[in-house]
Amino acid sequence: MKSNKLDLHKNTISEFHNDLMVYYDLVKEKQGNHKGEFAEAVRHLVIPKLALPEELIEDRTILRDEENGKPRNWGTKKAWRDYMVLKGYNTENTKMYYVDHNNLPQDLLTVLHTLPIKNPIFSVNVQPPGSVVPAHEDTWRIWRDKYPELAKEYTFEDTVFYIVFLTPQETGHSFQCGPTNIKWRPGDVIQMPYYTKHATANAGFTNKVVVQCLGIKK
């Protein structure tokens, strides 16, 4: 199948990972046809006190040069990476830290599993002061890596995408979905379509912490 005939409603997540630049082109069409807000507040969760041991926190800097001690392979996202660098983004201004699903505290997982989501990946993202995440659309790489066989069955249209905010929003903390600037308090949950262009920044003085929740619609 030629990449220019890929269809977000028919082709699987796995198929799109063979040509992610086609994915980016198609989601831009979805954004242009979208009506209304890109994010919806769906519920509020009572979040347990969060304790993340330092040894479990991994470096997930957006434009990091290495992954698992080796030069990072950007694969079909290289054009995206080159564009970000051209615009001035680098390893210093895109710092991000991450706690994998398998390392999350059980009490937090218990709360997150109340969301209407199948085959989830819950990952905690810790954004330090002075860091940004450039405007982007998620490609579900982390989810595909955990569920490679399911990624061969499901399309992006089958997916559901939540963000759970764990820390208070101080001045300088931002999370933008399309043109909408989100306001939140700890425990707030928003849902957005997989094709949403979103960006975050931390111009404050404390870490901004969220849970990214990727999975399949129930």
Cα–Cα distances (Å) from 36 to 32, 53, 165, in that order, read: 11, 40, 22
> pLDDT tens-digit profile of 30-69?
999 999 999 999 999 999 998 888 899 999 999 998 887 8
Structure tokens at 212: 């990214």
Summary mean pLDDT of the chain: 94
Whether the predicted pLDDT of 3 surpasses 70: no
> pLDDT tens-digit profile of 76-122?
899 999 999 999 999 999 999 999 999 999 999 999 999 999 999 99
Whether the predicted pLDDT of 189 surpasses 60: yes
Whether the predicted pLDDT of 145 surpasses 50: yes
DSSP state of 20: H
Report d(CA 186, CA 168) in Å as an integer: 5
pLDDT at 4: 58
200 close to 127: Cβ distance less than 8 angstroms: yes
Q: In the chain, what are the domains? A: 3-63+74-217 (2.60.120.10)
**Residue of 80, 210, 59, 203 lying closest to 137 (CA atoms):** 80
- pTM over 0.85, yes/no: yes
